[in-house]
Amino acid sequence: MGTNHYLFVTHPDPFDALVKENRWLLKDRSMVSKLHNLSAGDEVLVYVAGQSGIIGLLRVQGPSQLLRETAVLSGRAYQYELPVAFEIAVPKECVVPVKPFVRELNVTRRIADNWGSAFQRSIVRLNDDDFNFLKTKLVQTYKELHDSEQRQA
């Protein structure tokens, strides 16, 4: 069976903390049920609401788990954790904007005038073409940032 591709939707503040702690938190059991198709090895792009862009890439490491204690992050309470490994995380000011590509992506093409509605769910399954297109844009941004940092050092 191949790798599945998803997009998680979050906000900037929790994302920074999640990257720092190298984990993905879920609010409640209803969120866990939306993840029943995720498997170790699946790749997930992270979309930041409010900034309308892709900010990260992670790989699922295993099934979600109930936390022993509720975790509070950026004022939000979470009861479950999904083990992940972040592969790429770019700064908030460097998100890959989705809007320029809405007519090219299958997930937004039919609703291009209201494309943001495609990302109002917390978890979106992406087809391989959309995932690879957005991942390529994120990797390009990450490499440009890394190259720029090396030139400045």
CA atoms within 13 A on the CB side of 45: 30
2's tokens: 């191949």
Residues 6+ apart with CB under 8 A from 126: 5, 6, 7, 45, 107, 134
Residue 88 sits at φ, ψ, to 5 deg, of: -140, 135
pTM comes to: 0.90
52's tokens: 């309308």
Each residue of 104-120: pLDDT tens digit?
A: 999 998 887 888 888 88
- Domains, the chain, in order of start with CATH, read 5-152 (3.10.590.10)
What CA–CA distance (Å, rounded) separates 120 from 107?
12
Give me Rg for the CA atoms of the chain. 15
Each residue of 94-150: pLDDT tens digit?
A: 999 999 999 999 999 888 788 888 888 888 889 999 999 999 999 999 999 888 777
